[in-house]
Amino acid sequence: SQTIHQWPATLVQPVGSPLSLECTVEGTSNPNLYWYRQAAGRGLQLLFYSVGIGQISSEVPQNLSASRPQDRQFILSSKKLLLSDSGFYLCASRQGRGYTFGSGTRLTVV
């Protein structure tokens, strides 16, 4: 079965600073990978998904970017964080019809 590792679990960053959140997947190969964001009191919004190395699709325009340098590695980045980037970020992996989620990163931009 798939296991997703996300780090860090919590992060406090000043406005204008860069961001890099990493997600790695174990127990599968060639998965589809996803980044979701959950803003306070809101549902889960799909930010990016990837069907393979170097292939990134963006769902909504925003201040963030994603990269997939290796098959089981998915990175969420920003050059300059905004207050509105605060939220709970979840990485997910899909193999076949099953989805697995990481434990998330709580990002607070101050």
Partner 1 sequence: AQSVTQPDIHITVSEGASLELRCNYSYGATPYLFWYVQSPGQGLQLLLKYFSGDTLVQGIKGFEAEFKRSQSSFNLRKPSVHWSDAAEYFCAVARGIQGAQKLVFGQGTRLTINP
> How many C-beta atoms surround the C-beta of residue 64 within 10 A?
21
**Binds partner 1 (CB under 8 A): choice among 57, 63, 70, 108:** 57
Closest distance between partner 1 and the C-beta of residue 59, in Å? Answer: 8
Selected from 25, 34, 87, 109, the binder of partner 1 by CB under 8 A is: 34
> In a 10 Å sphere around its CB, with 0-12 CB exposed, 13-18 middle and 19+ buried, how is residue 46 labelled?
middle
CA 48, CA 63: separation in Å to the nearest integer?
A: 12
Give residues in contact with partner 1 (CB under 8 A): 32, 34, 36, 42-46, 49, 51, 57, 59, 88, 90, 92, 94, 97, 99, 101-104, 106
